[in-house]
Structure 1
């Protein structure tokens, strides 16, 4: 199993419309990828390498500051959206049975006008994050439309449940991730840069600066996901697997520690697409394979697992 690469140029962000034939071809390719692998690389999406680099450069400036300058922007310090903000090293355990992950993150989870944003050494942080959030949102909606087509569904089945992306009624999050160099003498047993997990929502868009991500095959072994310049890696998340009654598969993945002697850092940007908080997710084939669940409540449960229940 390797991760398929699909040319999305026909429905990239610069295209206003897509022909029936192009939609048919795209939907067939995504259906194969998401039913067999759970992951796909999309190239020619309209999101450029320059845009990605701008976000990574700005977020790295933020992460390289002393912790006391990042502390005022900590996750859970924003009343209207507790998932917004900085996540410090080892705070999150995506595999709750193992030690905290060796990564930092900044979650752009709210675009509310009253939010407080980093400034000073990171001038332009809000503008760059917000612009990229909207670009990812637009691409996500196009991918969801193709996915609905591949299942023979009305696109509104998915799109109507994602109307509030970018508001506090939807948990979609643009997440900048920074993996500092690893001190082997301090690593705890079982600790990884990012523990084994599956994502929570509908789909995830991932932009990565280097290799390191591993994806679990159906046989149970992990394969390394390459880093393809200019391509976005998209995967199915758990609510979408429920929604499609297991037609699309949400796959476990992780980020290992670098090899011994490798002191390099790693960066990535993930856009986690969530249905609206009040969206009721039921199996779209009308089966009762999974009980109905509200997207917002489901997300909170998953956060409780990865951040600890307190």
Structure 2
């Protein structure tokens, strides 16, 4: 099954006025796809292939830097929420969550995820995008950025790509809200000054390029919506609502959006957080061979951005979702508090317990 592609141009050209029937239908399609698959491919004319390539080129150069240099950007005292997270730190939720383990043991063999054997062998860089609140109870989730020496283009490249991807998320958030029968700004109003994170991962395929290697163990994302530019190496598997496992192929010029735990909370489980993993597949091996032949970088970089609900906003089922019999499973909680609880489980809060 191919994940459907939605062209955002029709919604963007409709502007701020009344939503016509054609755009309404598109919005219903967006909310329906998110509900059933937890993933959506979009084309946004404001996010170009060149933008994605410029970002990937810079991040490949960074991840290829010596180990000791990268460690200078590490901030464990801030829960790794800014700067670099070295490989071997983040623990996949599926390694520590017994309920999750029971769930995937009950899956048919062909749908089971790859079982990680320890912490993820991936690096990650956390870069805040957008304005932060001047007054917040969750200062460490809204800290100042870390800029590595020797990368004069760093801030402009990170901010430019990050803002473009947030713009795409905001459009999808508006379309999903309309499709779910909520006010257009139901989600975007809660996202204002959220601790949005551009969080590219780097996986060293020279060291870890063996088929079956798990880079990011089976997990959901703890944030609202996640967006990725196209990676130069495939390897992402997602699970549909019906439990089927699908390897995602992101076409050139497209962005991939995935549902996180915060949208699940706001819709009382009508839209579930999408389960996914990143592993070395046979298609990854083919891409490694091609890259080697052309002397290209063998770091798999994902240009991932986590869009969040503002830390001081309250997560609770919105509008008609509050009437759902499932709403009691989603009691009101401050978004920042929710994030801190989740970070503790995956070893990013300074004690062993979503990325």
Match in the other structure for 1:156: 185
Q: Give yes or no for contact 1:11–1:17 (8 Å, CA) kept in 2.
A: no
C-alpha deviation, 1:94, in angstroms: 2.6
C-alpha deviation, 1:35, in angstroms: 1.5
More relative contact order, 1 or 2 (CA 8 Å, 6+ apart): 2
Match in the other structure for 1:178: 202
Q: Structure 1 residues 185, 63: CA separation in 2 closer, same or farther (over 3 Å shift)? A: closer
- Picking from 200, 216, 222, the partner of 2:239 is 216
1:171-218 CA distances to partner (integer Å, 9 max, x unpaired)? 21001111111546999xx96111110111111111122321001134
Match in the other structure for 1:268: 302
C-alpha deviation, 1:249, in angstroms: 2.3
> Over aligned residues, Cα RMSD in angstroms?
2.7
Q: Work out whether 1:145 is the aligned partner of 2:167.
A: no
Q: Structure 1 residues 49, 293: CA separation in 2 closer, same or farther (over 3 Å shift)? A: same
> For 2:338 and 2:177, how far apart are their aligned partners in 1?
22
Gaps of 5+ in 1: 165-169
Match in the other structure for 1:286: 322
Q: Work out whether 1:250 is the aligned partner of 2:289.
A: no
> For 2:39 and 2:285, how far apart are their aligned partners in 1?
30
TM-score of the pair, normalised by structure 1: 0.87
Match in the other structure for 2:219: 197
Q: Work out whether 1:229 is the aligned partner of 2:252.
A: yes
> For 1:76 and 1:35, how far apart are their aligned partners in 2?
35
> For 1:257 and 1:186, how far apart are their aligned partners in 2?
7
C-alpha deviation, 1:75, in angstroms: 3.3
> For 2:213 and 2:339, how far apart are their aligned partners in 1?
24
Q: Structure 1 residues 110, 7: CA separation in 2 closer, same or farther (over 3 Å shift)? A: closer
Q: Give yes or no for contact 1:275–1:295 (8 Å, CA) kept in 2.
A: yes
Match in the other structure for 1:60: 60
Q: Structure 1 residues 108, 185: CA separation in 2 closer, same or farther (over 3 Å shift)? A: closer
Q: Structure 1 residues 271, 114: CA separation in 2 closer, same or farther (over 3 Å shift)? A: closer
Q: Structure 1 residues 9, 123: CA separation in 2 closer, same or farther (over 3 Å shift)? A: same
> For 1:297 and 1:27, how far apart are their aligned partners in 2?
31
SS of structure 2 residue aligned to 1:106:
strand
Q: Give yes or no for contact 1:90–1:103 (8 Å, CA) kept in 2.
A: yes
> For 2:36 and 2:252, how far apart are their aligned partners in 1?
24
> For 2:201 and 2:208, how far apart are their aligned partners in 1?
20
Deviates more, 1:28-37 or 1:48-57: 28-37
TM-score of the pair, normalised by structure 2: 0.76
Q: Give yes or no for contact 1:45–1:139 (8 Å, CA) kept in 2.
A: no
Match in the other structure for 1:206: 228
> For 1:245 and 1:59, how far apart are their aligned partners in 2?
37
Match in the other structure for 1:167: none
Q: Structure 1 residues 304, 86: CA separation in 2 closer, same or farther (over 3 Å shift)? A: same
C-alpha deviation, 1:293, in angstroms: 1.5
Deviates more, 1:100-109 or 1:69-78: 69-78
1:99-141 CA distances to partner (integer Å, 9 max, x unpaired)? 1112111110266796441131x22111110122222222222
